[in-house]
A and B are shown apart, each in its own frame.
Chain A
Amino acid sequence: METTKKHLSIKVIYWVTNITFWIFVLAAILGFILAGAFMLKIFDKTQLHVGIPVAINILEQGTLELNNSISSVEFVEMYGKIHFIDTDPEIGQVYSLFILAILSIFFYIFFTFRKFINNVYKGVYFEMKNISLLKRISYALVGVWGFTVLYAYFQYFYLLKNVEFSSIEITSDVQTYPVIVLVALFIWVLSHIFMKGCELQEETNYTI
């Protein structure tokens, strides 16, 4: 194979991707163990700590002192996390299913992206296998988006509808993460650009 001088940026992306991938693998193994333990109700002392993709308003008013004047203010449309003080094992099992599913999808995306970056590092750019990898990433991202929206609505109806606090108000502003779809669309368009590049590459290869 013809060896070409690799750009520094490609080397950096290659190493960052590979190091991040292996860190993710370790974290994913830990996540799988934790989720499995929740499923089997092994860790009865472990508490859930989940992000809430729904905006909340804090009804309590506070004061803001600025330019020698005091204004009454309140926090609105906030996003945060719920920490369970005593996690019900049934809820733990439901969430562990979500953890397992999201870890699996992210592992697939990371694994595919790493393969793509490794091909680029080897100097393999405009080839059908790269186009296929990019398409797979974009489809998986759409899957992530669908799953995330499902998770957000699940949180809203399953958890937050039943939360009661005297000073907070749960809104119906559920996050839908459209940026994930935009990224998926961008990668899908990129795969088509690569397809054109593949055609040009073939034409160049067969020009004598």
Chain B
Amino acid sequence: MAIIVNLDVMLAIRKMSLTELSNRVGITMANLSILKKGKAKAIRFSTLEAICETLDCQPADILEYKNEILS
């Protein structure tokens, strides 16, 4: 997929576990795992907002576009 989710990178920078993020954001571990593994088909603005607020970052810090044709 061309959109890469860098959630694990941000979690490492903030020294936060997935379980802690799950508790603070209010998203199930299963859903966060889907997001982290890049299996998600869409992300709601409300979810993105909650993650950005918790990790104190910008959406671009979590999501990255990579052109698969060029790479």
Contact = CB atoms under 8 A, between A and B. Distances in A.
Interface stretch (A48-56, A162-170, A199-207): A199-207
Interface residues of B, number: 12
Interface in A190-208: 202-203, 206-208
Contacts, number: 23
Interface string B19-58: 0000000010001101100011111100100000000000
A207 B44 CA distance: 7
Contacts of B47: 208
A203 B43 CA distance: 11
Q: How big is chain A's contact interface, by range? A: under 10
Q: Tell me the interface secondary structure of chain A in the complex.
A: mixed
A202 to B, nearest CB: 7
Interface in A44-92: none
23 contacts: A202-B41, A203-B41, A203-B42, A206-B34, A206-B39, A206-B40, A206-B41, A206-B42, A207-B40, A207-B41, A207-B42, A207-B43, A207-B44, A208-B27, A208-B31, A208-B32, A208-B34, A208-B35, A208-B40, A208-B42, A208-B43, A208-B44, A208-B47
